[in-house]
């Protein structure tokens, strides 16, 4: 079983360039309540290292590339985001880490809720404990 769930956005190419579309309901499986993006990233400075209790997120590299580590407490997988028309669904209670950013990487995230620190689990042992107690 793979932990990675990919969403293909609509991609429209013509001689003027490429237009990529993400629509509510069709591509993003939740109501978007926040959009944020990461840039000026460094290959040697991974980010994330948390899970969310309820938040759902769809993430992609608009330019450049990075790796995303996905972990459900039993299984760990590393995937590459390098396609601006292909996004990764990171569901609730998935530990995730972003790493190996290319110098030009811009990492865009659609989120199902506003920022709430109390939705984060930032300690891996606490995350393992939380997932094992819900099984
Ligand atoms: P964090 O989620 O830990 O970043 P990353 O997962 O990319 O390593 O957030 C870093 C800081 O920014 C932290 O103090 C919380 C704050 N923050 C907000 O205020 N609003 C937001 O929407 C996000 C994502 C983070």
Note whether 36 and 111 are within 8 A (CB).
yes
Whose C-alpha lies nearest to ligand 1, atom 19?
A: 115
- Does the beta carbon of 46 sit less than 6 angstroms from any atom of ligand 1? no
Residue range 26-80, pLDDT digits in tens: 999 999 999 999 999 999 999 999 999 999 999 999 999 999 999 999 999 999 9
**Residue 99 neighbours by CB under 8 Å, 6+ apart:** 43, 46, 47, 66, 67, 68, 69
Note whether 81 and 65 are within 8 A (CB).
yes
Q: Is the pTM of this model over 0.85?
A: yes
Q: Give the model's confidence band at 1: pLDDT under 50 very low, under 70 low, under 90 confident, else very high.
A: confident
Residue range 99-111, pLDDT digits in tens: 999 999 999 999 9
Centre of ligand 1 to C-alpha 24, Å, is: 24
Compute the average pLDDT of residues 71-90: 98
Note whether 88 and 59 are within 8 A (CB).
yes
């Amino acid at each position: 079983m793979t932990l990675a769930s990919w969403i293909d956005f609509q991609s429209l190419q013509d001689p003027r360039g490429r237009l990529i579309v993400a629509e509510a309901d069709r591509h993003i499986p939740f109501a978007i309540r926040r959009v944020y993006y990461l840039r000026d990233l460094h290959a040697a400075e991974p980010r994330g290292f948390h899970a969310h209790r309820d938040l759902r997120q769809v993430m992609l590299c608009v330019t450049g590339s990075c790796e995303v580590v996905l972990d459900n407490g039993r299984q760990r997988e590393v995937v590459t985001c390098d396609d601006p028309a292909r996004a990764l669904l990171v569901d609730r209670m998935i530990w995730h880490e972003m790493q190996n950013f290319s110098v030009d990487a811009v990492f865009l995230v659609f989120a199902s809720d506003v920022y709430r620190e109390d939705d984060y689990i930032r300690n891996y042992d606490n995350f393992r404990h939380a997932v094992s107690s819900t099984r």
